[in-house]
A and B are shown apart, each in its own frame.
Chain A
Amino acid sequence: MAKFTLNGHEQAVDAAPDTPLLWVLRDHLGLTGTKYGCGMALCGACTVHLEGAPVRSCLLPLSAVEGKSITTIEGISADRSHAVQRAWIEIDVPQCGYCQSGQIMSAVALLKSNPSPSDAEIDAALSGNLCRCGTYARIRRAVHRAAELLRDGSGS
Chain B
Amino acid sequence: MSARAPGHPPSRWSRRDFLKHSALAGGGLVLGVSLAAPATGPRTPGRPVSELNAWLRIGSDDSITMLVDRSEMGQGVYTALPMLIAEELEIDPARVRVVAAPVGDAYVNALNGGQVTGTSNSVPDAWEKLRKAGAQARLMLVAAAAQRFGVPASACQAAEGRVTASGRTATYGELAAAAARLPVPKDVKLKDPGQFRIIGRPQPRLDTPSKVDGTAEFGLDVRLPGMLYATVALAPQLGGRIQSIDAKAAEAMPGVRRVIASDTQAIVVADHFWQARKARDALTIRWAPGPNAQLDNAAIRARLLEAAKKPGLSALTSDDVAAPLKGGDAEKGLSQAAKRFEAVYELPMLAHATMEPMNCTADVKGSHCDLYVGTQVQSIAQAIAAEAAGLKPAQVDVHTTLLGGGFGRRLEVDFVPAAVIASKALGVPVKVVWTREDDMTNDYFRPPALEAVRAGLDAQGRLSAWALHVTSPSITARFDPTNKDPFDSVIEYVQNFPYAVANFGLNYTRQEIGIDVGYLRSVSHGPNCFAVESSIDELAQLAGKDPLAFRRELLAGKPRHLEVLRLAAERSQWGHPPAGHYQGIAFMEGYTSLIAQVAEVSIERGTLRVHRMTCVIDCGQTVNPRIIESQLESGMVYGLSAALWGDITVRNGQVQQRNFNAYRVLRLNETPQFDIHIVPSVGKPGGIGETGVPPIAPAVCNALYAATGKRVRSLPISAHGLA
* A interface residue numbers (CB < 8 A to B): 15-16, 19-20, 23, 26-28, 30-40, 42-43, 45, 72-74, 77, 80, 85, 88-89, 92-101, 104, 122-124, 126-140
Contacts and interface: CB of A to CB of B under 8 A. Distances in A.
A130 B665 contact: yes
B127 interface: no
B668 A98 contact: no
Given A42-B659, A98-B218, A134-B666, A92 B404 contact: no
B62 interface: no
A73 B213 contact: yes
Interface stretch (B379-387, B669-677, B701-709): B669-677
B214 A72 contact: yes
Given A88-B208, A97-B402, A133-B74, 18 more contacts: A27-B272, A27-B273, A34-B214, A35-B404, A38-B660, A73-B214, A74-B214, A80-B213, A89-B204, A92-B204, A92-B630, A129-B668, A132-B353, A132-B405, A132-B665, A134-B666, A136-B666, A140-B668
B607 to A, nearest CB: 16
A88 to B, nearest CB: 5
A133 B208 contact: no
A143 B670 CA distance: 17
Given A95-B75, A98-B405, A130 B660 contact: yes
B164 interface: no
Interface stretch (B130-138, B354-362, B478-486, B506-514): B354-362
B274 A94 contact: no
Contact of A15 (B72, B209, B215, B272): B272
Contact of A80 (B212, B357, B659): B212
Interface in B326-357: 353-357
B306 to A, nearest CB: 35
A95 B217 CA distance: 14
A130 B668 CA distance: 8
- Among A36, A93, A100: residue with most chain B CB under 10 A: A36
The 3 closest A-B pairs by CB, nearest first: A33-B214, A134-B637, A98-B404
A97 B207 contact: yes
Contacts, number: 182
Given A36-B220, A96-B74, A45 B668 contact: no
B638 interface: yes
A123 B670 CA distance: 9
B268 interface: no
Given A127-B667, A133-B74, A98 B214 contact: no
B212 A88 contact: yes
Nearest to B222: A32
B47 interface: no
Contacts of B407: 132
A123 B668 contact: yes
Contact of B661 (A28, A40, A101): A40
Nearest to B637: A134
B697 interface: no
A89 B637 CA distance: 21
B718 interface: no
Interface string B652-694: 0000000111000111111101100000000000000000000
B357 A36 contact: yes
Given A16-B254, A92-B626, A94-B205, A133 B213 contact: no
Contacts of B43: none
Contact of B355 (A39, A72, A73, A132): A132
- Among B631, B666, B671: residue with most chain A CB under 10 A: B671
Given A15-B272, A36-B357, A135 B634 contact: yes
Contacts of B229: 27
Contacts of B272: 15, 19, 23, 27-28
Nearest to B674: A137
Nearest to A96: B74
B254 to A, nearest CB: 7
A37 B436 contact: yes
Contact of A42 (B214, B217, B218, B661): B661
24 contacts: A19-B274, A23-B274, A26-B273, A27-B272, A32-B217, A33-B213, A33-B215, A35-B356, A39-B436, A40-B659, A88-B208, A89-B209, A92-B630, A94-B205, A95-B75, A95-B76, A97-B402, A98-B354, A127-B670, A134-B635, A134-B636, A134-B637, A137-B674, A140-B668
B665 A94 contact: no
B357 A37 contact: yes
A128 B214 CA distance: 19
B214 A89 contact: no
A99 B229 CA distance: 22
Nearest to B692: A134
Given A89-B204, A131-B355, A20 B669 contact: no
B668 A132 contact: no
B356 A37 contact: yes
A138 B73 contact: no
B208 A89 contact: yes
Contacts of A28: 272
A137 B403 contact: no
Contacts of A43: 355, 660
Interface in B376-425: 402-407
A127 B357 contact: no
B617 to A, nearest CB: 16
Contacts of A89: 204, 208-209, 212
Contacts of A93: 208, 212
B211 interface: yes
A133 B634 contact: yes
A139 B669 CA distance: 11
Contacts of A31: 214
Contacts of A131: 355, 637, 668
Nearest to B229: A27
B633 interface: yes
Given A74-B213, A89-B209, A130 B667 contact: yes
B355 A85 contact: no
B299 interface: no
Given A38-B436, A85-B212, A133-B74, A32 B630 contact: no
Contacts of B205: 92, 94
Given A33-B213, A135-B630, A137-B671, A96 B273 contact: no
A65 to B, nearest CB: 15
B216 interface: yes
B3 interface: no
Nearest to A84: B212
Contacts of B146: none
Contacts of B254: 16
A134 B659 contact: no
Contacts of A45: 355
A95 B634 contact: yes
Given A35-B220, A36-B220, A133 B355 contact: yes
A103 to B, nearest CB: 9
Contact of A32 (B76, B223, B433): B223
A101 B220 CA distance: 14
Nearest to B220: A36
B356 A94 contact: no
A50 B577 CA distance: 46
